[in-house]
Structure 1
Amino acid sequence: MTEPTPTGPRKSMEEKFPRALWVRLIIYVAVGHLFAAFIYLLFTLGAQGQ
């Protein structure tokens, strides 16, 4: 016996949610890495000034 496929708004929500989640995750990872690189740069430049 096969399960019925969802139709209507539930189907579109299930299709769009993972894509939105991945996009948000990629943005957070990219922004997090840029912030970490900026902090690293500040520490590197600060250490050279001593």
Structure 2
Amino acid sequence: MSERPDPEPAATAEQAPARAGRDMEERLPPSLWIRLLVYVVVGHLLAGFIYLLFEVGSKAQ
């Protein structure tokens, strides 16, 4: 006979969804990190291009 009794199935079922939901809130999926990185890089490239247009335009006058 084991020293620790098995947990009741009802208690385990109640704790599992709460833990899974909490893990999802604390950690983002890898695909979301990749999308975020792409958006940041593309946003910076677009901002740099617009800045370059203003610099070239100011030299032309």
Structures share fold, TM-score greater than 0.5:
yes
Shift of 1:42: 0.2
User: Distance between the aligned counterparts of 1:18 and 1:43, measured in 2?
Assistant: 38
> Is 1:29 aligned to 2:43, yes or no?
no
Deviations 1:4-34 (A, max 9, x none): 5xxxxxxxxx6xx610000000000000000
User: TM-score if structure 2 supplies the norm length?
Assistant: 0.55
How many percent identity over aligned positions?
A: 54
Letter in 2 for 1:33: H
User: TM-score if structure 1 supplies the norm length?
Assistant: 0.66
> Is 1:39 aligned to 2:50, yes or no?
yes
Q: Which runs of no fewer than 5 residues in structure 1 stay unpaired?
A: 5-13
The CA RMSD over aligned residues, in Å, is: 2.1
Count residues with an aligned counterpart. Answer: 40
Higher-Rg structure is 2
Deviating beyond 4 angstroms after TM superposition, the runs of 4 or more aligned structure 1 residues are 1-4
What is the SS of the residue equivalent to 1:26? helix
Q: Which runs of no fewer than 5 residues in structure 2 stay unpaired?
A: 1-10, 17-23
